[in-house]
Structure 1
Amino acid sequence: MISKIKKSFGGKLFIFFLIIGIQPLLFMTAAAYINTNQMISEKINSSIYENVKIVGNLLDSSLETFLNMARFISHSDDVKTLLNKEWSDGFDSRFIDVQKVYKLTNLLTVAHKNEVPVYIVGVKKYNRFSTTDHLPPIYATLKGEIFNQIDMAAKNETIYTQRRFDASKSKDIVLTLGRKICDDASDEILGYVILDIYDEYFDKVLDNVKVFEGNNVYVLDKNGVIITDKQNKNMTGFKFYDEYYNMVMNNEEGKFSCNIQNIDCMAFFTTLPNTGFKMVEIIPSKILYGDKRVIIKSFIIIALIFSLISIGASLFLSKNLSRPINYLSGLMKKVEKGDMDVKFDLKRDDEIGLLGDSFNKMIKKTKDLIDKVYIKQYLLKEAEFKELKSQANPHFIYNTLESINCMARLKDYEGITDMVTALGKFLRYSLNKDSDMVTIKEDIEQVKNYLTIQQIRFGDKIKINFDVDERLYDKKILKFLIQPLVENAIIHGLEPKIGKGFINIKGYIKDDLIVFDIEDDGVGFGRSPKPGFGLGMKNVDKLVKIHYGKEYGLSIPENLDITCVRLTIPNEE
């Protein structure tokens, strides 16, 4: 179907108009989509960057406030006085100092909306202070990891990432801020101030991140360890994903594609300026660029609508322009099939009209020429056909009369009678000039008359087998096509052979063709000592080609153990 469209004039016009119409449309649609897609992507990325930075700055500012609280407490004279107290100084004196510290911590924490437990742990084990009801066991001994971290910190303060459950508040602690408290004069360590940051604080901050369904936000410390995240809550203390760790830690900010739990995502990250923490927002790509899909669908629908309009217009134009050409082409096909009574009758004043007039003149001249040539060729062909037929009958008659002569010399009167009777039937069939076409059954009977004469000549030397499909009996065939082939098999195949032989006459239908195979086990092709080998076969082949066409005639099948000549003619009703 497609190849027919490509070959036809109308099809080529249609394809041409289609290309002219759709190509610019597709180009403009693609350009508009690319520009729109780029603009939307830039706006989305810019919006997310800004949002992440704003929330990051808010978080950074809050954490810096907590650190300033710890710094203020560590420099407080009241705190240092408390930590320098001895147990022997008396309860009343210690009570007064504790109240001063309470006022200080309350003053620092009351202005903050989030609850932040503050612990002051002195080197002297009885110097302990807590804004909560109790001191967590993890801070009861100075051998804990948090104190080691503070001691090793360059600025006497550290931020320690851990997830710990506070049973008294039923809250998770994810971050601890710690700082040394030193004596101003001797720089001796008097104790430590510790602030615990609850996870709910980060949740409140991260709620300000622009909501995308299925997004997650991670807060990482300076070492790339996850402090908390918005969704999972079970990765605190673990390093960020190995395959993306270097990307985040080695750059101040940026974005990258990633795959988290078999979901394609986009990641946006920034670095908090004060704490050096990293904030990473991860959003599923299908959610992030959902608006882009709507735009893609819109562009596709618009492109399809205009494409259909373009196709319709191309089809309309190509049909109108190609209709007279197709009409003229149809007339030419009719002429090709032999119909010379055609005429281009469209009234047009353009080049196609001139072409139609020239076609009509050409047909008229062609008809006149054919009429002259056809009559001449028909007469020549008929004369050649009759000449070939006349060559077949005398050849056999001469052979038969020679046999009768031999039998007369031998005084075989009964054989002479049978042979003359068979010869009479043969000649009566041959001399019947009603038609050159007979039924296959009639022609097979003529072959049998011929073989009757030959069997009288050769006796039991030749065994004859007929295998003809009865469906062929009523079909028409040209006279004397089978008999010369049988005669050729006997004279040039079986007669020179020493000993007995056979001849098979087969008739069947194959691939909508009528086929006759004449088989014998004689001396084979080219081995006959008798003159005239192949003359009968050439005459039959020529007769078939003159009457039926050049694609029909005789052939010699290969790879057979016996000699076979195959006659092929069309299967006509």
Structure 2
Amino acid sequence: MTHYIIVTGMVLMSLVLYNKFYETAKINSAISTSQIMDQVNINLGYYIDGMSEVSNLVNDELNNDMITTGNNIDNLLEMALKLRKDIVTLAVFSKNGDLVASSSGLKLKKGLNVQQEEWFKEEKLNPESLHYSYPHVENLFTGKHLWVVSLSRETNINYNYKSVIKNDIVEKGVLLVNLNFSAIDELCHNVSLGKRGYMYIIDKYGNIIYHPQQQMIYAGLKKENIDFAVKRQEGNYIEDYNGEQTVVSIKNVKYTQWKLVGVSYNNDMITTQNDIYSYFVLILIVSIFIICGISILISARISMPIKKLEKIMRKVEQGELNIYADVEGEKEVRQLSKTFNLMIYKIRQLMEQIIEEQEEKRKSELKALQAQINPHFLYNTLDSIVWMAENDENDGVVQMVTALANFFRISISRGGDIIDIREELQHAKSYLIIQQIRYGDKFDFIIEEMPPSLIDHKTLKIILQPIIENAIYHGIKGMVDKGYIRISGQVIGDKICLCVTDNGLGMSMDKVSKILLKKEKKEKGSGIGVKNVHERIQLYYGREYGLEISSEVDEGTTVKIWIPLTGEQEGE
């Protein structure tokens, strides 16, 4: 019963609102038409006023004694041409129709009698006024065929410069300004009054200045009751034309004898009435559905807390664990929400525990990798020391023992995983000294000087020595010629690049592409191994860091070690 009462009330209210809206629509339509007409009239006034200003400026300059025929007038017209983009041509004619000067040096068409032009006749009939023509094709000058509106007026022409003896010859002439008709077309083209209404412009004789269907009128396909508008003064009129009732609004265009005529159809209002009726019927139908929907929503409100909790559970299912279910409702729903929150808390605790365990596992793996130091290097070095001692090479023994001590001091580094790059370079140097003594003149090495901003930075320890060891055993050891090893470093963006280059035997691109991918296996003399270093760096810093190897057979190998510029904080 309640539903019927509400629907009946809505129907009655819709009828009242329908009548009110229809009357308001009629008033607004009349106001809108008037405002549109006024705005177009104002814009036309600005346009005509702009033409007048150009002609006044040129006329004032022509009345100046210093402006005479020849280049002075040509220059004046050329400057005026630049004042507005819609000016097509400017010209000055004598009273006999002879061309005195023109913009851009334009030439009259042969056999043309300017005195027969309408704008010229109008100026002669009333020389005190400005005369505006209806649109026509510009046919005075060669090479010009645009649709223009012409402004003509009387002006003065000085034929001589001013001298001590006054002998100026001043004659009356005609100033012509042609403006592109497209400017008027743009002002009126997109304006419409209602669904079918339109505007047009005529002069005092009924000549069409602008009409949206001008070509159809000229072709006889459409008729326009121009005589009605010519005979009427400014105002609004009701007219029956072609079997339809129209409202004709007439306004005079400022500065001219043109009329702006607006035509709107009363049938458009009937269409508008039907649109409003359809709109209210639609509203009524939608409202009925809304009432039914509200009833359904009220009954469904009881289940809303469950749906809210279900939505939160779906977020958890998608991986969002930082969530809290604050669901209000019946006692059972609140208890379910509380249990759900406790479950999420336990899950977060377990995940944090797993993350900690994985971090400890990562650190253990890192330490295990660092512990893989080949004891053969120590055995071979001690054998070399014994051999030099037996041969009384005391200086060599001292140098090698010192280098070995520095080597192991930095290797141990009080059990820490992170050292300065300066220490890492010293560790590499100690290793190179030991190997250089062992192999005699087999190779030379150089460690390039690096800026303090680089060597004072932190790095994982023992990342250079395995690369150098690999270069000696697999690159230089098998060479006939003398080898060299160069160590350099630089900061590139937010990364540090340490580079080890040798001129050894090199390797193929296929081997280079596989060297960091193959399973770790013990290689004679490989020490910790190149892949070991790569894995240590990626375990500690992330997958975007590690080794980059480039090599060419018989040309040598370059290994770049990439570590982050901000990596010194972790693990210290």
Q: Which has the larger radius of gyration?
A: 1
Identify the TM-score tier after normalising by the shorter chain: 0.3 to 0.5
TM-score of the two chains, using structure 2 as the length reference = 0.42
TM-score of the two chains, using structure 1 as the length reference = 0.41
Which of the pair has the greater relative contact order for Cα pairs under 8 Å at 6+ separation? Answer: 1
